[in-house]
């Protein structure tokens, strides 16, 4: 079993092509789309959680996407939650696609589980108190 979160950036000329579904058809990789923004004739991005498959299938799938012009990178930066600032309003839990931010009941406390975080950054945009942030803005290209 091989699991990983990857960020794909599509140049405008391939943004509308059905490339990602080939990861399953050709390379036996099962994945979940955590977030995506794809528009016709514009650069798009997609955050994929590879849920199962082999390491060699993953490497071949990455090579396939790169050969098609897609940039593939791993999220090297991490999200943090500033507990001093967080008011536990819950706004971030409504946008978090992976349940990394969730409400603990009955305390109604917002918990951040960094192991589930895909680094999509939606919580940073949503938090009214600016309690969510990034450790580093770097990403690491997949070889």
* Total interface residues for ligand SF4 by CB under 6 A: 28
CA angle 7, 36, 6 (to 5 degrees): 15
User: CB-wise, 19 or 48, nearer to ligand SF4?
Assistant: 48
Residue 75, classified by CB atoms within 10 Å of its CB into exposed (0-12), middle (13-18) or buried (19+), is buried
Member of 6, 7, 101, 142 binding ligand SF4 (CB under 6 A): 101
Dihedral sign, CA of 80, 85, 88, 91?
Answer: negative
Member of 88, 102, 133, 139 binding ligand SF4 (CB under 6 A): 88
Do the Cβ atoms of 34 and 5 come closer than 8 Å? yes
User: CB-wise, 68 or 102, nearer to ligand SF4?
Assistant: 102
Residue 92, both tokens: 């971030």
Binding of residue 129 to ligand SF4 (CB under 6 A): yes
Binding of residue 48 to ligand SF4 (CB under 6 A): no
The 3-state DSSP class for residue 120 equals: coil
Positions touching ligand SF4 (CB under 6 A) are: 79, 81, 86-92, 95-98, 100-101, 110, 117-123, 126-127, 129, 131-132
């Amino acid at each position: 079993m091989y699991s990983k979160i990857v960020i794909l950036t599509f140049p405008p000329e391939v943004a509308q092509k059905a490339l990602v579904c080939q990861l399953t058809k050709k390379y036996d990789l099962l994945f979940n789309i955590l977030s995506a923004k794809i528009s016709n004739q514009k650069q798009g991005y997609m955050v994929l959680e590879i849920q199962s498959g082999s390491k060699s299938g993953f490497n071949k799938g990455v090579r396939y996407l790169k050969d098609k012009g897609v940039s593939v990178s791993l999220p090297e930066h991490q999200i943090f939650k500033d507990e001093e600032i967080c008011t536990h309003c819950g706004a971030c839990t409504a946008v978090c696609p992976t349940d990394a931010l969730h409400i603990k009941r009955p305390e109604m406390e917002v918990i951040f589980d960094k192991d589930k975080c895909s680094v999509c950054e939606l919580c940073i945009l949503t938090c009214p108190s600016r309690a969510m942030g990034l450790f580093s803005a770097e990403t690491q290209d997949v070889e």
